Amino acid sequence: MKSCDRIWTHVNLATLNPEVEGPYGVLLNQSVSVLDGRIVAIQAMESLDLATVSADVIDGQGKWLTPGLVDAHTHLVFAGNRAEEFEQRLLGVGYEEIARRGGGIISTVNATRKASVEELVTLSGPRLEALLAEGVTTVEIKSGYGLSVESELKMLRAAKQLEQLYPVRISTTLLGAHAVPPEFSDNADGYIELVCNELIPAAVAEGLADSVDVFCESIAFSPDQCKRVFQTAREQGLGIKAHVEQLSNLHGAELASNYGAWSADHLECIDENGVKAMAAAGTVATMCPGAFYFLRETRVPPIELFRRHNVPMAVATDLNPGSSPLASLRLAMNMACTLFRMTPEEALAGATRCGAQALRMGSELGQLKVGMCADMALWDIEHPAELAYQFGVNSLVQRIFSGEVKNQPPH
Ligand code: DI6
Ligand code: FE
């Protein structure tokens, strides 16, 4: 019987496995064997007899292997462009004037509603490719720019198609409660009814969503409205994620945690009670430093409280056209360090192990460990801290998906 399909030799590992002692779970000069898409052995080179191995051998030449990166929060499926709005703002045009001119989130909604599934796939492909080119192997994608039953489902179908077209795992999230659509401008409760009674069941019937998400904020939905969405998600067997405490503290993280949320995201304004509720529920804190940067926020999420209460911190791009037009998880990792004062080790854990946990994929992904999926990235670096330190230079040598080298986009 074949013991492995492929073996990487002479590699240094940042395993991100907490059972391996020391920072990053480092193991030097190792080999990693994969069979049927999974890691089946991790063995020191000094104890490996290569003569007995009958498999593809890839000599890592002392380069570093990490788990494939996980971007646990994106809105990368959308149509339209907000660059003009960006420019207008910098020329001094106010927020309300921009909204009157048809800008803001509703401009993305209008463009997305007009696009077909195929157009959305074509427009979103390059954004996904940019992530993959930097070693990302798992991406979460949210709906939220359709805001009608048909357009939300269309966005999720586009996300599912991307998974067919590219070597990537995609976790899909139904963010129906992202903004109040124009048709319901005086009736947000009515829209929430639609989300709960029609949209969520339709997405479940078609197998389009792994989880739901909400934007809990005074400019979006109230905690009571979000609660209705969580209740329905729970009844329908979907996971729960939430945009909370980004601009103000409505105690949304506590609410989401009480519903067993997979993650609560942004969290700039969370207090210690919220952090404790997350810790008790095992809810991951997803940091979105790209939005913090782009919106020029000043209140930093309380990293020290997350550390103290052992709340895992994921790091994500939040790739979206309005508040985080960032298609680089490596740059998000750098921002997590420079803006939020996370350590490079926390940033890498945030883009691997904790990102996987935020998608409830932590038992399969996010660590180099026997039994886990062989989604990996091989880097030409001298130390794993470089992955959060440098940006703009792509040090990725191989992107390995399910045990196979998949560097190039498929076209
Ligand atoms: N948080 C944000 O900052 C945005 N959505 C969200 O949930 C903004 C999205 C947009 O403006 O397109
Ligand atoms: Fe977001």
CATH number at residue 80: 3.20.20.140
Residue 54 has a pLDDT of 86
The torsion region of residue 162 among left (phi > 0), alpha (psi -120 to 50) and beta comes to: alpha
Domain co-membership, 113 together with 33: no
Q: From CA 188, how far away is CA 173, in angstroms rounded?
A: 20
CA distances to 55, 158, 229, 271, 288 from 297, rounded to whole Å, are 52, 32, 28, 17, 12
Asked whether residue 201 falls in the same domain as residue 334, the answer is yes
pLDDT band at 1 (very low <50, low <70, confident <90, very high): low
Both 167 and 43 in one domain: the answer is: no
* Mutation test residue for ligand 1: of 73, 75, 245, 263, the one with most atoms within 8 Å of CB: 75
Quick one: 266 and 290 in the same domain?
yes
The answer on 373 and 261 residing in a single domain is no
Question: Does 120 map to a domain?
Answer: yes
Residue 87 and residue 216 in one domain:
yes
Indicate whether 196 and 52 sit together in one domain. no
- Looking at the structure of the chain, the number of domains it has is 2
Q: Which atom of ligand 1 is nearest to the CA of 178?
A: 7
For residue 394, name the pLDDT band (cuts at 50, 70, 90): very high
Three-class DSSP category at 409: coil
Q: Which residues pair with 174 in a beta bridge?
A: 212
Same-domain check for residues 47 and 78: no
Q: How confident is the model at residue 86 (pLDDT cuts 50, 70, 90)?
A: very high
Residue-level pLDDT at 20 = 98
- Residue whose CA lies nearest to ligand 1 atom number 2: 323
Same-domain check for residues 54 and 78: no
1 in a structural domain: no
pLDDT band (50, 70, 90) for residue 97: confident
- The rounded mean pLDDT for the chain is 96
Considering the domain boundaries, does residue 89 fall inside one?
yes
Only one residue has tokens 């001094």, namely 92
Distance CA 306, CA 277 (A): 11
In tens, the pLDDT along 324-342 reads 999 999 999 999 999 999 9
pLDDT score for 95: 72
Asked, for residue 205, whether it belongs to a domain, the answer is: yes
Instruction: Indicate yes or no: pTM above 0.75.
Output: yes
Query: Cα 120 vs. chain centroid, distance in angstroms?
Result: 19
CA 318 – ligand 2 centroid, Å? 5
User: Tens of pLDDT along 247-274?
Assistant: 999 999 999 999 999 999 999 999 999 9
Q: Which ligand is in closest contact with the Cα of 177?
A: 1
Asked if residue 256 lies in contact with residue 264, where contact means CB atoms within 8 angstroms, the answer is: yes
Question: Is residue 203 predicted with pLDDT exceeding 90?
Answer: yes
CA–centroid distance, residue 215 to ligand 1 (Å) = 8
**Does residue 225 form part of some domain?**
yes
Whether residue 285 is found in the same domain as residue 297: yes
Residue 370: domain span: 6-67+366-405
Assess whether 27 and 133 both reside in one domain. Answer: no
Q: What is the largest CA-CA distance in the chain?
A: 73
Q: Give 124's pLDDT tier (boundaries 50, 70, 90).
A: very high
* Residue 410 located in a structural domain: no
List beta partners, residue 70: 138
Specify whether 397 is located in the same domain as 281. Answer: no
Q: Could you tell me what percent of the chain has a pLDDT over 90?
A: 93
pLDDT for res 410: 52
Instruction: Give the pair of three-digit tokens for residue 241.
Output: 């994620």
Residues with CB under 6 Å of ligand 1 are: 105, 108, 178, 215, 243, 246, 291, 320-323
Query: Last residue of some domain: 358, 374, 389?
Result: 358
Q: What is the mean pLDDT of residues 64-87?
A: 96
**Residue range 121-143: mean pLDDT, rounded:** 98
Residue 203 φ/ψ, nearest 5 degrees: -65, -40
In a domain, 411, yes or no: no
User: What pLDDT does residue 409 have?
Assistant: 60
Answer yes or no: is 251 within a domain: yes
Whole-number Å distance between alpha carbons of 92 and 333: 31
Instruction: Output the CA torsion 200→204→206→209 (10° steps).
Output: 90
CATH code where residue 62 lies: 2.30.40.10
Query: What local confidence, expressed as pLDDT, does residue 360 receive?
Result: 98
Q: In whole angstroms, give the CA distance from residue 77 to residue 162.
A: 10
Asked if the model's pLDDT at residue 282 lies above 70, the reply is yes
Q: Which of 99-108, 279-288, 312-321 has the lowest mean pLDDT?
A: 99-108
Atom of ligand 1 nearest to the CA of 295: 3
Query: From start to end of 201-252, where are the E strands?
Result: 211-216, 239-244
Write out pLDDT tens, residues 5-56: 999 999 999 999 999 999 999 999 999 999 999 999 999 999 998 888 889 9
Question: DSSP state, 68?
Answer: P
